Amino acid sequence: MLDWEHIFATRSSRMRASEIRELLKLLEQPDIISFAGGIPDPALFPDAEFKTAYNDIFSGPQVNAALQYSVSEGFKPLRDWIVKEVAKIGIDCTADNVFITSGSQQALDYLGKLFLSPKDTALVTWPTYLGALSAFNAYEPNYDNLSVNGNRTPEAYRETAAKLGGDVKFAYLSADFSNPTGETVDKAGREKLLALADELDIAVIEDAAYQHLRYDGEAIAPILAMDIAAKGGIENTRTIYCGSFSKSLAPGLRVGFVIGAMPVIRKLVLMKQAADLHSSTINQIAIEHVASRGFDAQVAKIKKAYSERRDAMLAALEKYMPKNTSWTKPEGGMFVWVTLPEGMDGAELLAKSIATEKVAFVPGRAFYADGSNANTLRMSFSCANAEMIDEGIKRLGRLVANADAE
Ligand code: PMP
């Protein structure tokens, strides 16, 4: 076999199979109780609504346009719908500020490509969304720990980046019900972050993939909305908002979007022209069809189901986990983050868990840019019913207690 490594570009050396992708295969084994995949429950998809949407498209005058190439910016009626929708949460923008991507994952890739030269520093929370690390890794950056409510000075970030041979370029975070911890950054934390970004003169990438999924507590304005209010208009902001229809409607259509100031959007459009010309025309039309006819009802439906599962998971953790473990209490999203006793390894626990208890989760280390904090786990409650959650956590609690006693 050819030795490809010396032919591949250096950037490919950091592209590795994600632990999560491998784990998703476990979902296919029927006897495993899986809290591993952070995916929406397919039973909650608005499939009848999508069927009507595609039927309407194929039986109406739109069919030729739907099957044709289209503009790189995205389907205008969908961008108009997004403008109206985000106005409700304080994001005042025009359709020109909205750019449609093939899922918000593509936005992360493009933003990595736009901002990161090799050796530049990306600030990410510790832990952060694994898919963001995978997207940025291709651009050969360094990572530094974005401590949202901490007291690291701008100079400290700058000095670390300079030592590593580049500049700080952006701070990336999911401020609402983050993947993996389920935690939310409060208003004061968001203000601090914007002040830090102003001081450092960097971009803020706000990943809003889970923003619609709030089950209780007060909604907090998106970072972009706060930036717009403080700077007097979107063109003066440094925040780039990445939205998605994957959690609210369905991920298989691959439709997401970016909202930001025009200089950023113009560059992203050029990237899209070079990469894939535009996102699927027909899927954008179908998303607009379904969203404009029943987005709120669909979101209400999934929130009800997921909030019951969140409650079941928190109750089961309380009931079964040993005293020396702790976990987050998310107000929304799909994840609870469990911290095991010091010295315990989530990956080792998973191997045991699969073999003896048939329960799957994601070891937390994968979500740390420096591979630290092995004693953590990401547990997703989105695809399990209350009964499975109770049984799965019961088994996990037993396993952790036994492992700790060893
Ligand atoms: N951001 C976060 C935080 C996610 O959890 C995900 C999906 N798991 C994405 C982005 C990507 O979502 P999509 O490309 O389907 O919009």
Distance of CA 294 to the CA centre of its chain: 23
Three-class DSSP category at 239: strand
On whether ipTM exceeds 0.90, the answer is yes
174 lines ligand 1 (CB under 6 A): yes
Q: Tell how far the Cα of 256 is from the centroid of ligand 1, in angstroms.
A: 9
Distant-in-sequence, close-in-space partners of 90: CB < 8 Å, separation ≥ 6: 221, 222, 225, 226, 228, 229
How many Cα atoms are found within 13 Å in the side-chain-facing hemisphere of 256? Answer: 24
Q: Tell how far the Cα of 105 is from the centroid of ligand 1, in angstroms.
A: 6
Q: Tell how far the Cα of 21 is from the centroid of ligand 1, in angstroms.
A: 13
| pLDDT classification of 406: cutoffs 50, 70, 90 | confident
Q: Is pLDDT of 23 > 70? A: no
Global pTM exceeds 0.90: yes
> Which residue type occupies 67?
L
CA distance 212 to 33: 26
Task: Say what the pLDDT of residue 22 is.
Answer: 65
Distant-in-sequence, close-in-space partners of 56: CB < 8 Å, separation ≥ 6: 62, 289
Q: Residue with the nearest Cα to atom 2 of ligand 1?
A: 209
pLDDT digits (tens, 9 = 90+) for 122-135: 999 999 999 999 99
Q: Residue with the nearest Cα to atom 1 of ligand 1?
A: 209
Q: Residue with the nearest Cα to atom 6 of ligand 1?
A: 209
Mean pLDDT of 39-65: 97
Mean pLDDT of 18-25: 62
Inter-residue contact 127 to 362 (CB < 8 Å): no
Q: Tell how far the Cα of 208 is from the centroid of ligand 1, in angstroms.
A: 9
Q: Where are the beta strands (DSSP E) in 74-213?
A: 98-101, 121-124, 142-145, 168-173, 203-207
For a ligand 1 pocket test, name from 129, 185, 382 the mutation site with the most ligand atoms within 8 angstroms of its C-beta: 129
Q: Is pLDDT of 146 > 90? A: yes
| pLDDT classification of 405: cutoffs 50, 70, 90 | confident
Mean pLDDT of 33-59: 96
179 lines ligand 1 (CB under 6 A): yes
Helices 103-115 and 130-137: angle between axes, nearest 10 degrees: 40
Higher pLDDT: 151 or 159? It is 159
Distant-in-sequence, close-in-space partners of 69: CB < 8 Å, separation ≥ 6: 277, 278, 281
209 lines ligand 1 (CB under 6 A): yes
364 lines ligand 1 (CB under 6 A): no
207 lines ligand 1 (CB under 6 A): yes
Q: Tell how far the Cα of 209 is from the centroid of ligand 1, in angstroms.
A: 6
Three-class DSSP category at 49: helix
Task: Say what the pLDDT of residue 18 is.
Answer: 63
Q: Is pLDDT of 17 > 90? A: no
Q: Is pLDDT of 334 > 80? A: yes
Q: Tell how far the Cα of 207 is from the centroid of ligand 1, in angstroms.
A: 8
Distant-in-sequence, close-in-space partners of 1: CB < 8 Å, separation ≥ 6: none
CA distance 76 to 60: 18
Q: Is pLDDT of 340 > 80? A: yes
Q: Is pLDDT of 19 > 70? A: no
Mean pLDDT of 138-161: 93
256 lines ligand 1 (CB under 6 A): yes
Cα torsion 350, 355, 358, 362 to 10°: value is 20
Higher pLDDT: 45 or 16? It is 45
